């Protein structure tokens, strides 16, 4: 029996639909799989399973398409802090109840979420977008340090709290910020105990994060 004729519609790898070259007979399906395959964490097998699921019927595919289209139109980044938002500036930057004098520096917009979920932090944020990584070619000029320094002045920041991953890149970025803020009249702190070495901040539980925040330590500036 030639390849491509075995298996059934329930096959998760699409055996019944493939050509001898391992590609789908339908160029449209092949294109869908290839687009899904470039998503983080998805290989061809998972992409194929998702594509077949979407084509299996029901209105899931149409609702997913509408949700992606809506998100592309609505979602933006706050020009002040870099958070993901639909209003620019975001609700945290414009809130009267947040203390503008406290600025928490994080690497990614998702790092804001555990703070907001825990609910103890009443300051504002600054998202760097990425961490310094000279080995990967990510240098200081690739990060928004100019905008960060401006923010310190406009909001008259009293304390900068470094809430960065404890990875090599996180440590490199923290060290750079320590030097950048040398001589400035403000308090520089960073999260203390509880964040696991090499751990990602976004996946730290609320209790651990709150303890690390409450015991944050002053940072000497060179
Ligand atoms: Zn903002």
**Over the stretch 86-113, which tens digit does the pLDDT of each residue have?**
999 999 999 999 999 999 999 999 999 9
- The rounded Å distance from CA 99 to ligand 1 centre is 13
Range scoring the smallest mean pLDDT among 74-78, 120-124, 213-217: 213-217
Query: 102 and 163 share a domain?
Result: yes
The more confident residue out of 221 and 50 is: 50
Q: 160: CA distance to ligand 1 center in Å?
A: 16
Residue 206 Cα to ligand 1 midpoint, Å, equals 22
Kindly state whether residues 95 and 190 are assigned to the same domain: yes
Q: How many residues does the chain have?
A: 222
Domain count, the chain: 2
Range of the domain at 30: 15-73
Give distance in angstroms: CA of 80 to centre of ligand 1: 5
Are residues 125 and 141 located together in one domain of the fold? yes
CA 47–ligand 1 middle distance (angstroms): 35
Last residue of a domain, one of 58, 73, 88: 73
What does the pLDDT average to over 204-218? 74
Q: Is the pLDDT of residue 201 over 80?
A: no
Same-domain status, 59 and 94: no
Express each pLDDT in 26-70 by its tens digit. 899 999 999 999 999 999 999 999 999 999 988 999 999 999 999
Give the Cα-Cα-Cα angle 201, 186, 77 (nearest 5 degrees): 45
Q: Which residues contact 76 (CB under 8 A, 6 or more apart)?
A: 84, 85, 86, 88
CATH number at residue 25: 1.10.8.420
């Amino acid at each position: 029996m030639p390849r491509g004729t075995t298996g059934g519609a329930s096959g998760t790898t699409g055996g019944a639909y493939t050509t001898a070259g391992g590609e789908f007979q339908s160029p449209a399906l092949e294109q869908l799989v290839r687009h899904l395959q470039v998503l983080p964490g998805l290989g061809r097998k998972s992409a194929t399973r998702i594509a077949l699921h979407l084509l299996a019927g029901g209105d899931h595919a149409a609702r997913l398409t509408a949700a992606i289209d809506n998100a592309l139109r609505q979602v933006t980044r706050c020009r002040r802090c870099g958070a993901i938002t639909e209003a620019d500036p975001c609700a945290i930057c414009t809130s009267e109840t947040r203390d503008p004098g406290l600025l928490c520096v994080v690497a990614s917009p998702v790092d804001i979420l555990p703070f907001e979920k825990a609910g103890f932090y009443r300051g504002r944020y600054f998202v760097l977008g990425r961490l310094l990584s000279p080995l990967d070619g990510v240098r200081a000029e690739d990060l928004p340090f100019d905008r960060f320094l401006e923010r310190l002045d406009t909001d008259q920041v009293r304390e900068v709290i470094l809430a960065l991953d404890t990875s090599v890149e996180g440590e490199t970025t923290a060290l750079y910020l320590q030097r950048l803020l040398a001589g400035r009249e403000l308090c520089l702190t960073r999260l203390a105990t509880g964040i696991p070495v090499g751990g990602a901040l976004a996946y730290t539980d609320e209790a651990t994060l709150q303890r690390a925040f409450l015991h944050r330590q002053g940072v000497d500036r060179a």
